[in-house]
Structure 1
Amino acid sequence: MEKIIPKIIGAFINFIALFSPKYAAKLALQLFSTPRKGKLKASEAVFLKTAQHKDFQYTGFTIKTYKWSGTRSTILLAHGWESNAFRWKNLIELLSAKDYNIIALDAPAHGASGNKEFNAVLYSECINMVANYFKPNVIIGHSVGGMSTVFALNSFTINVERIILLGAPDAFISIFTNYENMMGYSKRTSNAIKNLIVKKFKHQPEHFSTSNFTSNLNIEGLIIHDKKIELYLLMTQ
Protein backbone atom coordinates (compact mmCIF):
# COMPACT_ATOMS: atom_id res chain seq x y z
CA MET A 1 0.00 0.00 0.00
CA GLU A 2 2.85 2.39 0.83
CA LYS A 3 4.20 1.96 -2.71
CA ILE A 4 0.78 2.26 -4.35
CA ILE A 5 -0.27 5.57 -2.77
CA PRO A 6 2.59 7.62 -4.33
CA LYS A 7 1.72 6.14 -7.75
CA ILE A 8 -1.93 7.13 -7.32
CA ILE A 9 -0.95 10.69 -6.37
CA GLY A 10 1.54 10.77 -9.25
CA ALA A 11 -1.12 9.62 -11.71
CA PHE A 12 -3.41 12.42 -10.51
CA ILE A 13 -0.65 15.01 -11.00
CA ASN A 14 0.11 13.54 -14.44
CA PHE A 15 -3.57 14.00 -15.33
CA ILE A 16 -3.44 17.64 -14.24
CA ALA A 17 -0.30 18.10 -16.37
CA LEU A 18 -2.32 17.26 -19.48
CA PHE A 19 -4.22 20.52 -19.00
CA SER A 20 -1.89 22.66 -16.86
CA PRO A 21 1.76 21.54 -16.71
CA LYS A 22 2.74 24.56 -14.61
CA TYR A 23 0.15 23.84 -11.95
CA ALA A 24 1.06 20.15 -11.94
CA ALA A 25 4.73 21.08 -11.47
CA LYS A 26 3.80 23.37 -8.59
CA LEU A 27 1.92 20.56 -6.86
CA ALA A 28 4.74 18.06 -7.45
CA LEU A 29 7.45 20.38 -6.16
CA GLN A 30 5.31 21.35 -3.17
CA LEU A 31 4.81 17.68 -2.33
CA PHE A 32 8.56 17.04 -2.65
CA SER A 33 9.36 20.01 -0.40
CA THR A 34 6.91 19.31 2.44
CA PRO A 35 8.27 17.20 5.31
CA ARG A 36 5.83 14.69 6.79
CA LYS A 37 7.49 14.71 10.20
CA GLY A 38 10.25 16.47 12.12
CA LYS A 39 8.23 18.77 14.36
CA LEU A 40 9.17 18.71 18.03
CA LYS A 41 7.67 16.10 20.31
CA ALA A 42 7.01 16.95 23.95
CA SER A 43 9.81 14.65 25.13
CA GLU A 44 12.27 16.33 22.74
CA ALA A 45 11.26 19.81 23.83
CA VAL A 46 12.20 18.96 27.43
CA PHE A 47 15.85 18.46 26.47
CA LEU A 48 15.94 21.53 24.23
CA LYS A 49 14.72 23.66 27.14
CA THR A 50 18.18 23.17 28.67
CA ALA A 51 19.55 25.50 25.96
CA GLN A 52 19.38 29.25 25.51
CA HIS A 53 16.90 29.99 22.72
CA LYS A 54 17.19 32.65 20.04
CA ASP A 55 14.76 33.21 17.18
CA PHE A 56 15.73 34.64 13.80
CA GLN A 57 13.30 36.02 11.25
CA TYR A 58 13.90 35.04 7.64
CA THR A 59 11.61 35.90 4.71
CA GLY A 60 8.53 35.92 6.91
CA PHE A 61 9.11 32.90 9.13
CA THR A 62 11.04 32.03 12.30
CA ILE A 63 14.24 30.01 12.55
CA LYS A 64 14.74 28.58 16.03
CA THR A 65 18.26 28.19 17.42
CA TYR A 66 19.59 26.63 20.60
CA LYS A 67 22.81 27.42 22.46
CA TRP A 68 24.67 25.43 25.09
CA SER A 69 27.42 27.78 26.25
CA GLY A 70 31.04 26.74 26.62
CA THR A 71 34.47 28.37 26.62
CA ARG A 72 36.03 26.33 23.81
CA SER A 73 35.42 26.47 20.03
CA THR A 74 31.93 27.15 18.69
CA ILE A 75 30.30 24.26 16.84
CA LEU A 76 27.16 24.67 14.70
CA LEU A 77 24.96 21.61 14.20
CA ALA A 78 22.66 21.31 11.15
CA HIS A 79 20.25 18.35 11.22
CA GLY A 80 18.80 16.49 8.25
CA TRP A 81 15.44 15.85 6.57
CA GLU A 82 12.38 15.23 8.77
CA SER A 83 14.41 15.74 11.93
CA ASN A 84 15.19 18.58 14.34
CA ALA A 85 17.88 19.81 16.74
CA PHE A 86 17.02 17.08 19.26
CA ARG A 87 18.69 14.48 17.02
CA TRP A 88 22.02 15.87 18.25
CA LYS A 89 21.24 15.16 21.94
CA ASN A 90 24.00 12.58 22.48
CA LEU A 91 26.61 14.66 20.66
CA ILE A 92 25.54 17.83 22.48
CA GLU A 93 25.94 16.13 25.85
CA LEU A 94 29.37 14.82 24.84
CA LEU A 95 30.58 18.19 23.55
CA SER A 96 29.10 20.08 26.49
CA ALA A 97 31.04 17.85 28.87
CA LYS A 98 34.19 18.98 27.05
CA ASP A 99 33.13 22.66 27.38
CA TYR A 100 32.51 23.39 23.70
CA ASN A 101 30.17 26.23 22.74
CA ILE A 102 27.35 24.50 20.86
CA ILE A 103 24.75 25.96 18.52
CA ALA A 104 21.97 23.97 16.85
CA LEU A 105 19.17 25.14 14.61
CA ASP A 106 15.86 23.77 13.43
CA ALA A 107 15.62 23.86 9.64
CA PRO A 108 12.71 25.55 7.86
CA ALA A 109 9.50 23.50 8.31
CA HIS A 110 11.23 21.38 10.98
CA GLY A 111 11.34 21.39 14.77
CA ALA A 112 10.16 24.70 16.23
CA SER A 113 11.02 26.70 13.10
CA GLY A 114 8.35 28.10 10.84
CA ASN A 115 7.43 27.76 7.15
CA LYS A 116 5.55 24.95 5.43
CA GLU A 117 8.10 23.99 2.80
CA PHE A 118 11.78 23.06 2.82
CA ASN A 119 14.58 22.95 0.29
CA ALA A 120 18.36 22.76 0.56
CA VAL A 121 18.89 26.24 -0.91
CA LEU A 122 16.56 27.83 1.65
CA TYR A 123 18.24 25.85 4.42
CA SER A 124 21.66 27.05 3.23
CA GLU A 125 20.48 30.65 3.49
CA CYS A 126 19.32 30.03 7.06
CA ILE A 127 22.62 28.34 7.94
CA ASN A 128 24.42 31.39 6.57
CA MET A 129 22.29 33.73 8.68
CA VAL A 130 22.87 31.72 11.86
CA ALA A 131 26.60 31.29 11.14
CA ASN A 132 27.06 35.02 10.59
CA TYR A 133 25.59 35.67 14.02
CA PHE A 134 27.27 32.93 16.08
CA LYS A 135 30.59 32.74 14.15
CA PRO A 136 31.16 28.97 14.43
CA ASN A 137 34.62 27.47 14.08
CA VAL A 138 33.16 24.15 12.96
CA ILE A 139 29.92 23.17 11.23
CA ILE A 140 28.62 19.61 11.46
CA GLY A 141 25.82 18.69 9.05
CA HIS A 142 23.83 15.48 8.80
CA SER A 143 22.12 14.34 5.58
CA VAL A 144 20.64 17.35 3.77
CA GLY A 145 22.03 19.49 6.59
CA GLY A 146 25.47 18.58 5.28
CA MET A 147 24.47 19.30 1.70
CA SER A 148 22.99 22.66 2.72
CA THR A 149 26.14 23.51 4.69
CA VAL A 150 28.22 23.04 1.55
CA PHE A 151 25.73 25.08 -0.47
CA ALA A 152 26.01 27.88 2.12
CA LEU A 153 29.81 27.85 2.09
CA ASN A 154 29.80 27.91 -1.70
CA SER A 155 27.33 30.80 -1.96
CA PHE A 156 28.24 33.02 1.00
CA THR A 157 31.29 34.20 2.91
CA ILE A 158 31.37 32.13 6.09
CA ASN A 159 34.64 32.08 8.02
CA VAL A 160 34.72 28.54 9.32
CA GLU A 161 37.76 26.38 10.01
CA ARG A 162 36.31 22.92 9.45
CA ILE A 163 33.21 21.09 8.28
CA ILE A 164 32.07 17.57 9.06
CA LEU A 165 29.49 15.96 6.77
CA LEU A 166 27.59 12.94 8.06
CA GLY A 167 25.75 10.91 5.43
CA ALA A 168 25.37 13.97 3.21
CA PRO A 169 23.88 13.30 -0.26
CA ASP A 170 25.78 14.47 -3.30
CA ALA A 171 23.78 15.23 -6.45
CA PHE A 172 20.35 16.80 -6.01
CA ILE A 173 19.34 15.42 -9.42
CA SER A 174 19.75 11.85 -8.09
CA ILE A 175 17.47 12.58 -5.15
CA PHE A 176 14.89 14.22 -7.37
CA THR A 177 15.03 11.45 -9.99
CA ASN A 178 14.31 8.91 -7.25
CA TYR A 179 11.30 11.01 -6.23
CA GLU A 180 10.05 11.21 -9.82
CA ASN A 181 10.38 7.44 -10.23
CA MET A 182 8.62 6.78 -6.94
CA MET A 183 5.70 8.97 -8.01
CA GLY A 184 5.64 7.66 -11.59
CA TYR A 185 5.64 11.11 -13.16
CA SER A 186 5.25 11.35 -16.91
CA LYS A 187 7.85 13.01 -19.12
CA ARG A 188 5.47 15.96 -19.51
CA THR A 189 5.24 16.37 -15.75
CA SER A 190 8.98 15.91 -15.20
CA ASN A 191 9.85 18.53 -17.81
CA ALA A 192 7.42 20.97 -16.22
CA ILE A 193 8.98 20.39 -12.80
CA LYS A 194 12.49 21.01 -14.13
CA ASN A 195 11.31 24.23 -15.77
CA LEU A 196 9.86 25.36 -12.45
CA ILE A 197 13.11 24.53 -10.64
CA VAL A 198 15.07 26.64 -13.13
CA LYS A 199 12.60 29.50 -12.73
CA LYS A 200 12.70 29.33 -8.93
CA PHE A 201 16.41 28.63 -8.34
CA LYS A 202 18.00 30.07 -11.53
CA HIS A 203 19.84 26.81 -12.26
CA GLN A 204 19.24 23.37 -13.72
CA PRO A 205 18.83 20.61 -11.10
CA GLU A 206 22.24 19.19 -12.10
CA HIS A 207 23.90 22.38 -10.83
CA PHE A 208 23.29 21.51 -7.19
CA SER A 209 26.04 19.03 -6.32
CA THR A 210 27.83 18.67 -3.00
CA SER A 211 31.00 17.28 -4.58
CA ASN A 212 31.18 20.05 -7.17
CA PHE A 213 30.66 22.74 -4.56
CA THR A 214 33.21 21.30 -2.13
CA SER A 215 35.85 21.52 -4.86
CA ASN A 216 35.59 25.31 -4.49
CA LEU A 217 36.23 25.24 -0.73
CA ASN A 218 39.61 25.71 0.91
CA ILE A 219 38.90 24.45 4.42
CA GLU A 220 39.49 21.25 6.34
CA GLY A 221 36.71 18.71 6.01
CA LEU A 222 35.69 15.24 7.12
CA ILE A 223 33.08 13.18 5.24
CA ILE A 224 31.53 10.20 7.01
CA HIS A 225 29.07 7.68 5.55
CA ASP A 226 27.60 4.53 7.02
CA LYS A 227 28.97 1.56 5.06
CA LYS A 228 25.42 0.25 4.58
CA ILE A 229 24.14 3.42 2.89
CA GLU A 230 23.82 3.26 -0.88
CA LEU A 231 25.96 6.10 -2.23
CA TYR A 232 24.73 6.72 -5.73
CA LEU A 233 27.39 9.08 -6.98
CA LEU A 234 30.32 7.38 -5.30
CA MET A 235 29.27 4.07 -6.81
CA THR A 236 29.28 5.54 -10.31
CA GLN A 237 32.61 7.36 -10.14
Structure 2
Amino acid sequence: MASLSTIRNVINAVSYVSVKAAGGPAWKLFHGAPPRTPVRPEQREVHDRAEQETLTVAGREIRTYRWGSGEKPVLLVHGVSGRAANFAGFVAGIEALGLTAVAYDAPGHGSSGGSTCTILEHGAVMTAVQERYGDFHAVVGHSFGGTSAYLAARRGLVTERLVSISSVADFGSLPDTFCGQLGLRPALATELRRRTELFFAPERDVWNRFSADHRPEEITARILVVHDENDREVGVDQGRRLAASYGDRAELLITSKLGHRRILGDPEVIGRVLDFLKD
Protein backbone atom coordinates (compact mmCIF):
# COMPACT_ATOMS: atom_id res chain seq x y z
CA MET A 1 0.00 0.00 0.00
CA ALA A 2 1.33 3.42 -0.93
CA SER A 3 2.35 5.71 1.91
CA LEU A 4 0.27 8.75 2.77
CA SER A 5 3.06 11.04 1.58
CA THR A 6 3.11 9.30 -1.80
CA ILE A 7 -0.67 9.56 -2.13
CA ARG A 8 -0.50 13.25 -1.21
CA ASN A 9 2.18 13.94 -3.81
CA VAL A 10 0.21 12.14 -6.53
CA ILE A 11 -3.03 13.98 -5.67
CA ASN A 12 -1.26 17.34 -5.69
CA ALA A 13 0.45 16.56 -9.01
CA VAL A 14 -2.83 15.52 -10.64
CA SER A 15 -4.55 18.64 -9.30
CA TYR A 16 -2.32 20.86 -11.46
CA VAL A 17 -3.84 19.15 -14.50
CA SER A 18 -7.39 18.70 -13.17
CA VAL A 19 -8.62 19.58 -9.70
CA LYS A 20 -11.77 17.58 -10.36
CA ALA A 21 -9.77 14.44 -11.21
CA ALA A 22 -7.61 14.86 -8.12
CA GLY A 23 -10.76 15.37 -6.08
CA GLY A 24 -11.70 11.69 -6.45
CA PRO A 25 -8.87 10.22 -4.36
CA ALA A 26 -8.89 13.26 -2.06
CA TRP A 27 -12.59 12.65 -1.38
CA LYS A 28 -11.94 8.99 -0.56
CA LEU A 29 -9.47 10.08 2.10
CA PHE A 30 -11.75 12.83 3.39
CA HIS A 31 -14.94 10.76 3.43
CA GLY A 32 -13.60 7.30 4.26
CA ALA A 33 -12.81 5.95 7.71
CA PRO A 34 -9.07 5.82 8.55
CA PRO A 35 -7.25 2.56 9.37
CA ARG A 36 -8.75 0.91 12.45
CA THR A 37 -6.84 1.32 15.68
CA PRO A 38 -6.42 -1.53 18.18
CA VAL A 39 -7.39 -1.48 21.84
CA ARG A 40 -4.34 -0.21 23.70
CA PRO A 41 -2.93 -2.33 26.56
CA GLU A 42 -3.91 0.22 29.21
CA GLN A 43 -7.51 0.15 27.90
CA ARG A 44 -7.84 -3.63 27.66
CA GLU A 45 -9.22 -4.43 31.14
CA VAL A 46 -12.00 -1.83 30.89
CA HIS A 47 -12.80 -2.81 27.30
CA ASP A 48 -13.05 -6.51 28.09
CA ARG A 49 -15.33 -6.18 31.12
CA ALA A 50 -17.98 -4.28 29.20
CA GLU A 51 -21.26 -5.91 28.30
CA GLN A 52 -21.03 -5.98 24.51
CA GLU A 53 -23.88 -6.13 22.02
CA THR A 54 -24.32 -5.68 18.29
CA LEU A 55 -26.95 -3.34 16.84
CA THR A 56 -27.82 -3.21 13.16
CA VAL A 57 -27.99 0.40 11.96
CA ALA A 58 -28.60 1.16 8.27
CA GLY A 59 -27.52 -2.36 7.39
CA ARG A 60 -24.24 -2.23 9.30
CA GLU A 61 -23.34 -4.07 12.49
CA ILE A 62 -22.41 -1.63 15.27
CA ARG A 63 -20.61 -2.85 18.38
CA THR A 64 -21.87 -1.32 21.61
CA TYR A 65 -20.45 -1.41 25.14
CA ARG A 66 -22.11 -0.94 28.54
CA TRP A 67 -20.60 -0.63 31.98
CA GLY A 68 -23.11 -0.50 34.82
CA SER A 69 -26.68 -1.41 35.73
CA GLY A 70 -28.36 0.64 33.02
CA GLU A 71 -29.45 3.54 35.23
CA LYS A 72 -28.95 7.04 33.83
CA PRO A 73 -26.81 6.17 30.79
CA VAL A 74 -23.93 8.42 29.78
CA LEU A 75 -23.07 8.07 26.11
CA LEU A 76 -19.37 8.25 25.16
CA VAL A 77 -18.73 9.11 21.50
CA HIS A 78 -15.21 8.81 20.07
CA GLY A 79 -13.75 10.75 17.16
CA VAL A 80 -12.04 9.97 13.86
CA SER A 81 -9.55 7.07 14.08
CA GLY A 82 -10.76 6.29 17.60
CA ARG A 83 -12.85 3.60 19.24
CA ALA A 84 -14.99 3.23 22.37
CA ALA A 85 -12.02 2.07 24.44
CA ASN A 86 -10.52 5.59 24.19
CA PHE A 87 -12.85 6.53 27.07
CA ALA A 88 -11.52 3.79 29.37
CA GLY A 89 -10.30 6.39 31.87
CA PHE A 90 -13.84 7.73 32.38
CA VAL A 91 -15.66 4.46 33.04
CA ALA A 92 -14.84 3.80 36.70
CA GLY A 93 -15.70 7.37 37.67
CA ILE A 94 -19.01 7.23 35.82
CA GLU A 95 -19.89 3.99 37.62
CA ALA A 96 -18.91 5.52 40.97
CA LEU A 97 -21.50 8.26 40.38
CA GLY A 98 -24.22 5.63 40.03
CA LEU A 99 -24.43 6.25 36.29
CA THR A 100 -24.04 3.81 33.40
CA ALA A 101 -21.34 4.29 30.77
CA VAL A 102 -22.46 3.40 27.23
CA ALA A 103 -20.30 3.62 24.11
CA TYR A 104 -20.03 2.32 20.58
CA ASP A 105 -17.45 1.82 17.89
CA ALA A 106 -18.52 4.16 15.11
CA PRO A 107 -19.11 2.83 11.58
CA GLY A 108 -15.77 1.96 9.99
CA HIS A 109 -14.03 1.98 13.38
CA GLY A 110 -13.08 -0.60 15.98
CA SER A 111 -15.24 -3.72 15.78
CA SER A 112 -18.12 -2.12 13.86
CA GLY A 113 -18.88 -2.67 10.19
CA GLY A 114 -18.70 -0.17 7.37
CA SER A 115 -16.00 1.91 5.73
CA THR A 116 -17.30 5.46 6.23
CA CYS A 117 -18.51 7.53 9.16
CA THR A 118 -20.27 10.80 8.40
CA ILE A 119 -21.89 13.18 10.85
CA LEU A 120 -25.31 11.80 9.88
CA GLU A 121 -24.16 8.20 10.30
CA HIS A 122 -22.87 9.06 13.78
CA GLY A 123 -26.27 10.59 14.56
CA ALA A 124 -28.16 7.52 13.33
CA VAL A 125 -26.10 5.30 15.60
CA MET A 126 -26.64 7.61 18.60
CA THR A 127 -30.38 7.42 18.03
CA ALA A 128 -30.27 3.62 17.81
CA VAL A 129 -28.18 3.40 20.99
CA GLN A 130 -30.68 5.66 22.79
CA GLU A 131 -33.56 3.45 21.67
CA ARG A 132 -31.70 0.46 23.10
CA TYR A 133 -30.42 1.92 26.40
CA GLY A 134 -32.79 4.80 27.16
CA ASP A 135 -32.59 8.60 27.29
CA PHE A 136 -29.14 9.88 28.18
CA HIS A 137 -28.20 11.66 31.37
CA ALA A 138 -25.27 13.04 29.38
CA VAL A 139 -23.35 12.71 26.14
CA VAL A 140 -19.55 13.08 26.13
CA GLY A 141 -18.03 13.42 22.67
CA HIS A 142 -14.42 13.72 21.57
CA SER A 143 -13.41 15.56 18.40
CA PHE A 144 -15.78 14.71 15.52
CA GLY A 145 -17.86 12.67 17.94
CA GLY A 146 -18.59 15.85 19.88
CA THR A 147 -19.44 17.83 16.77
CA SER A 148 -21.80 15.04 15.70
CA ALA A 149 -23.48 15.04 19.12
CA TYR A 150 -24.54 18.69 18.80
CA LEU A 151 -26.31 17.98 15.51
CA ALA A 152 -27.92 14.85 16.96
CA ALA A 153 -29.16 16.84 19.95
CA ARG A 154 -30.74 19.44 17.67
CA ARG A 155 -32.46 16.63 15.79
CA GLY A 156 -34.06 14.93 18.76
CA LEU A 157 -31.40 13.08 20.76
CA VAL A 158 -32.39 13.40 24.43
CA THR A 159 -29.69 14.42 26.92
CA GLU A 160 -29.55 16.61 30.01
CA ARG A 161 -25.87 17.48 29.60
CA LEU A 162 -23.44 17.62 26.72
CA VAL A 163 -19.65 17.57 26.96
CA SER A 164 -17.51 18.18 23.89
CA ILE A 165 -13.76 17.67 24.03
CA SER A 166 -11.48 18.96 21.24
CA SER A 167 -14.46 19.41 18.92
CA VAL A 168 -14.96 21.55 15.82
CA ALA A 169 -17.58 24.28 16.11
CA ASP A 170 -17.49 25.29 12.42
CA PHE A 171 -18.31 22.33 10.17
CA GLY A 172 -17.30 24.46 7.19
CA SER A 173 -13.69 24.55 8.39
CA LEU A 174 -13.20 20.80 7.90
CA PRO A 175 -12.12 20.78 4.21
CA ASP A 176 -9.49 23.47 4.81
CA THR A 177 -8.29 21.77 7.99
CA PHE A 178 -8.10 18.40 6.25
CA CYS A 179 -6.09 19.77 3.33
CA GLY A 180 -3.79 21.65 5.69
CA GLN A 181 -3.09 18.54 7.76
CA LEU A 182 -2.36 16.38 4.72
CA GLY A 183 -0.46 19.04 2.80
CA LEU A 184 -2.94 19.13 -0.08
CA ARG A 185 -3.27 22.20 -2.30
CA PRO A 186 -5.93 24.74 -1.18
CA ALA A 187 -7.76 24.28 -4.48
CA LEU A 188 -8.67 20.77 -3.35
CA ALA A 189 -10.57 22.15 -0.36
CA THR A 190 -12.98 23.83 -2.76
CA GLU A 191 -13.42 20.53 -4.62
CA LEU A 192 -14.06 18.70 -1.35
CA ARG A 193 -16.73 21.23 -0.47
CA ARG A 194 -18.42 20.64 -3.82
CA ARG A 195 -18.36 16.87 -3.40
CA THR A 196 -19.59 17.11 0.18
CA GLU A 197 -22.61 19.17 -0.87
CA LEU A 198 -23.45 16.62 -3.56
CA PHE A 199 -23.02 13.74 -1.15
CA PHE A 200 -25.39 15.16 1.47
CA ALA A 201 -28.06 16.27 -1.00
CA PRO A 202 -30.97 16.86 -0.53
CA GLU A 203 -29.68 18.30 2.77
CA ARG A 204 -29.07 22.01 2.16
CA ASP A 205 -26.72 24.57 3.69
CA VAL A 206 -24.77 21.80 5.40
CA TRP A 207 -21.80 24.02 6.29
CA ASN A 208 -23.99 26.07 8.61
CA ARG A 209 -26.60 23.53 9.67
CA PHE A 210 -24.06 20.85 10.61
CA SER A 211 -21.95 23.27 12.67
CA ALA A 212 -22.00 22.66 16.41
CA ASP A 213 -22.75 26.32 17.14
CA HIS A 214 -25.69 26.55 14.73
CA ARG A 215 -28.97 27.63 16.37
CA PRO A 216 -27.79 27.07 19.96
CA GLU A 217 -31.28 27.83 21.28
CA GLU A 218 -32.41 24.46 19.90
CA ILE A 219 -30.27 22.60 22.45
CA THR A 220 -31.52 22.81 26.03
CA ALA A 221 -28.81 20.70 27.66
CA ARG A 222 -26.16 22.16 29.94
CA ILE A 223 -22.83 22.22 28.12
CA LEU A 224 -19.16 21.77 29.01
CA VAL A 225 -16.57 22.57 26.36
CA VAL A 226 -13.02 21.26 26.90
CA HIS A 227 -10.16 22.20 24.59
CA ASP A 228 -6.38 22.33 24.74
CA GLU A 229 -4.55 25.49 23.73
CA ASN A 230 -1.87 23.34 22.04
CA ASP A 231 -4.30 21.28 19.93
CA ARG A 232 -2.73 21.09 16.46
CA GLU A 233 -5.64 19.26 14.84
CA VAL A 234 -8.51 21.48 15.98
CA GLY A 235 -7.45 24.94 17.06
CA VAL A 236 -8.49 26.23 20.48
CA ASP A 237 -10.41 29.03 18.75
CA GLN A 238 -13.02 26.40 17.85
CA GLY A 239 -13.57 25.56 21.51
CA ARG A 240 -13.80 29.22 22.51
CA ARG A 241 -16.29 29.88 19.69
CA LEU A 242 -18.39 26.91 20.71
CA ALA A 243 -18.62 27.90 24.37
CA ALA A 244 -19.37 31.52 23.53
CA SER A 245 -22.28 30.55 21.29
CA TYR A 246 -24.10 28.85 24.18
CA GLY A 247 -23.63 31.74 26.59
CA ASP A 248 -24.51 31.17 30.24
CA ARG A 249 -25.48 27.53 29.63
CA ALA A 250 -21.91 26.61 28.75
CA GLU A 251 -18.75 26.15 30.80
CA LEU A 252 -15.31 26.32 29.18
CA LEU A 253 -12.19 24.46 30.31
CA ILE A 254 -8.94 25.34 28.50
CA THR A 255 -6.02 23.00 29.16
CA SER A 256 -2.36 23.19 28.17
CA LYS A 257 0.18 20.80 26.62
CA LEU A 258 -2.29 17.91 26.19
CA GLY A 259 -2.91 18.22 22.48
CA HIS A 260 -5.83 16.67 20.64
CA ARG A 261 -5.77 13.09 21.90
CA ARG A 262 -3.87 12.87 25.20
CA ILE A 263 -6.53 15.15 26.68
CA LEU A 264 -8.87 12.14 26.96
CA GLY A 265 -6.55 10.44 29.45
CA ASP A 266 -5.72 13.46 31.60
CA PRO A 267 -6.84 12.93 35.24
CA GLU A 268 -7.79 16.60 35.74
CA VAL A 269 -9.92 16.63 32.58
CA ILE A 270 -11.61 13.38 33.58
CA GLY A 271 -12.26 14.78 37.07
CA ARG A 272 -13.78 17.99 35.70
CA VAL A 273 -16.06 16.05 33.37
CA LEU A 274 -17.17 13.75 36.18
CA ASP A 275 -17.96 16.76 38.37
CA PHE A 276 -20.09 18.14 35.54
CA LEU A 277 -22.01 14.84 35.32
CA LYS A 278 -23.01 14.86 39.00
CA ASP A 279 -26.64 15.55 39.90
- TM category (shorter chain) comes to 0.7 to 0.9
Seq. identity, %: 21
The worse-fitting range, judged by mean Cα deviation, of 75-84 and 178-187 is 178-187
Q: Deviations over 1:89-113 (max 9, x none)?
A: 1210122233312211111111111
**Alignment-derived partner of residue 46 in structure 2:** 47
Q: Counterparts of 1:71 and 1:191 in 2: how far apart (Å)?
A: 45
Residue 14 of structure 1 deviates from its aligned partner by 4.5
**Aligned partner of 1:30: which letter?**
K
Q: Deviations over 1:153-174 (max 9, x none)?
A: 12x3222211111221211222
Does structure 1 residue 142 correspond to structure 2 residue 142? yes
Counterpart among 228, 231, 234 of residue 236 in structure 2: 231
2:11 and 2:26 in contact (8 A); partners too: yes
Q: Counterparts of 2:214 and 2:85 in 1: how far apart (Å)?
A: 30
Task: Point out where structure 2 has 5 or more consecutive residues left out of the alignment.
Answer: 245-279
Coordinate RMSD, CA, aligned: 2.8
**Aligned partner of 1:220: which letter?**
R
**Alignment-derived partner of residue 185 in structure 1:** 185
**Alignment-derived partner of residue 211 in structure 1:** 213
1:151 and 1:213 in contact (8 A); partners too: no
CA separation of 1:94 and 1:51: change in aligned 2, threshold 3 A = same
**Alignment-derived partner of residue 153 in structure 1:** 153
TM-score (norm 1): 0.83
2:144 and 2:168 in contact (8 A); partners too: yes
CA separation of 1:215 and 1:38: change in aligned 2, threshold 3 A = farther
**Alignment-derived partner of residue 76 in structure 1:** 75
CA separation of 1:23 and 1:42: change in aligned 2, threshold 3 A = farther
**Alignment-derived partner of residue 163 in structure 2:** 164
Q: Counterparts of 1:72 and 1:146 in 2: how far apart (Å)?
A: 22
**Alignment-derived partner of residue 13 in structure 1:** 11
After superposition, where does 1:27-176 map in structure 2 within 5 Å? 27-32=25-30, 33-40=32-39, 44-70=43-69, 72-135=71-134, 136-154=136-154, 156-176=155-175
Q: How many residues align?
A: 231
CA separation of 1:45 and 1:233: change in aligned 2, threshold 3 A = closer
Q: Counterparts of 2:122 and 2:195 in 1: how far apart (Å)?
A: 19
Higher normalized contact order (CA 8 Å, seq sep 6+, divided by chain length)? 1
2:141 and 2:165 in contact (8 A); partners too: yes
**Alignment-derived partner of residue 198 in structure 1:** 197
Q: Counterparts of 1:192 and 1:167 in 2: how far apart (Å)?
A: 26
Q: Deviations over 1:46-83 (max 9, x none)?
A: 53221111111122321111111236422111112211
